[in-house]
A and B are shown apart, each in its own frame.
Chain A
């Protein structure tokens, strides 16, 4: 099975499929939970963009670092974060991956190299640059990846990071997820020129790719990861994708006028990264259908187990609310 001439091993293709479906089903569950009023805080869903996180993170081990965004569930899961503990976190429970202190916008698991989601747009870019510096100093081939949006690309820190990372040949990969919107502003209304080409004057290699094609993402990341691991410096990947859900769940309660055409959303749904990939796998090997169905079923069970785990987890102890402010008591 070659999937678009990629020569990827069958297990790898199926694992990419599994992770994308896992992200999708977990988030569909979160969408239902949010509609049912079960989630205490805001959630930004990654539905439609799964191929980017998965295509990149398949190249990373738990020892590599990623930084993520407010739309961070996909990165967390793609990097191997525990779905049940993420779910419990978003439910605000004691067994959440951050004990209920962080919520959706702050899911993180440092033991797996997940520096975490971020409530500050562009905040992860500098953190990943710092992690890349630490990795470079360690000299053991670890790398850092910053996921950020097209909106975040307009924060000055992107330029600052490109400059330093290029100058110091840091093992950094900047992955811009261009999903067409910066909140409710269509990208073209707030972003000039090309994001990918912002890397050019810094001498940083860049590529613009179809972010809804997991193989294309995997291939672009492969090149960038090799370069970073070999000490040849940073790269920038701009993945063109689309968020098919709202910027934030329940946005219809406060955004009274439509900011995009339903036809546009439908057109992108027709290019859904999971459907496309599954179709391609089936076309190349009709026999794969049973395996995909088995993966679907297993993922459904994982989601149910995650919900059970989260629901049965207690609320955090209010007496612990001051949390872990300092490593050494003041």
Chain B
């Protein structure tokens, strides 16, 4: 174990995996200079054959990832900001997510798409979208959202070894977040949630960047005798329903925090599933803490007003606990 920033943990995972598997190629815009630091040093270590700076052409690189994977490579494709996934969306939605299915399972597509997702840094509407709901809705790509540096390492290594297209979404503004990170071989399987903090009163499911404010809210509420169980799904496709349902069955209450626009967010999806399959366990309506259905604004006061924060989470928890069936 050593204390590292999330971006360093990712860098370590990339380095170890590329070392381990010479079939891996990595490409994207400015991966050599490395804006975020995740691909730092890889070009020096592995050379220009395996680590390539591409021109600005997302429509091409997202599709090249599919072609190179179909032709036998394990591919890591850096899309930079989540919003640039949209400019590369055709090959992602129409090729990566569908090629295996359409060809009756003839091929595997071992691709890891990297992107920074979400807001909080006054980067404005075209650099701040939380893109996981759009991706989750494609059906054919897995979606990983690490909530801590250690998870970032273990999940990224698993994503790279996975034989399907996987989006690894690093939360904007969380790259510098420090935490203990295990050395060397450390794998977290995709599709396994983690209970970050046990609690008997309410299940608080927090996705990606939302894990940290959820834990802070849980800590604060604990001072008042409210014990919240914080569940971090870690991957939204596949989604570990078993762990989430088990938690809800223990506590009887659910709040989901998701830094996505509310309509068709993962929070909404999860709320629907729990309402459908665990209705009998619920003592109160499910609450979602999400982003309103608008763009992410530039000015800090505006952005703060719409992104989920500790106060909004605490409020949702209190209101859920205070809820009484109307007489």
A positions within 8 Å CB-CB of B: 40-42, 89, 92-93, 96, 98, 100-103, 105-106, 118-123, 151-152, 154-156, 182-185, 189-191, 254-257, 259, 315-316, 318-323, 325
Q: Is the beta-carbon distance between B55 and A106 smaller than 8 angstroms?
A: no
Residue in A closest to B59 when the chains form the complex, CB atoms: A156
Q: Does B95 contact A (CB under 8 A)?
A: no
Residue in B closest to A152 when the chains form the complex, CB atoms: B56
Q: In the complex, which residues of chain B have a beta carbon less than 8 angstroms from the beta carbon of A100?
A: 297-299, 301-302
User: Could you say which of B120-128, B199-207, B221-229 contacts chain A?
Assistant: B120-128
Q: Is the beta-carbon distance between B56 and A92 smaller than 8 angstroms?
A: no
B positions within 8 Å CB-CB of A: 29-30, 32-33, 35-37, 40, 53-60, 83-84, 87, 121-127, 292-295, 297-306
Main secondary structure of the interface of B (DSSP, over half): loop
Q: Is the beta-carbon distance between B292 and A103 smaller than 8 angstroms?
A: no
Q: Is the beta-carbon distance between B55 and A93 smaller than 8 angstroms?
A: no
How long is the Cα–Cα vector from A194 to B298 in the complex, in angstroms? 37
How long is the Cα–Cα vector from A320 to B245 in the complex, in angstroms? 37
- Of B123, B124, B299, most A-chain CB atoms within 10 Å: B299
Q: Is the beta-carbon distance between A318 and B301 smaller than 8 angstroms?
A: yes
Given A92-B301, A183-B33, A191-B55: 4 more A-B contacts, CB < 8 Å: A40-B122, A101-B299, A103-B298, A321-B306
Q: Which of B33, B58, B126 contacts A119 (CB 8 A)?
A: B126
Number of A-B contacts (CB under 8 A): 135
Q: Is the beta-carbon distance between B297 and A323 smaller than 8 angstroms?
A: yes
A sample of 30 inter-chain contacts (CB < 8 A) reads A40-B298, A42-B123, A89-B298, A92-B301, A96-B299, A101-B125, A101-B299, A101-B302, A102-B124, A103-B124, A103-B298, A120-B83, A120-B84, A121-B56, A122-B87, A152-B56, A155-B56, A156-B57, A156-B59, A183-B29, A184-B30, A184-B33, A190-B54, A191-B55, A256-B40, A257-B33, A316-B299, A321-B306, A322-B292, A323-B294
With contacts A40-B122, A103-B122, A325-B293 known, is A316 near B302, CB below 8 A?
A: yes
With contacts A103-B299, A321-B297, A322-B292 known, is A182 near B55, CB below 8 A?
A: yes
Residue in A closest to B302 when the chains form the complex, CB atoms: A321
Q: In the complex, which residues of chain A have a beta carbon less than 8 angstroms from the beta carbon of B87?
A: 120, 122, 155
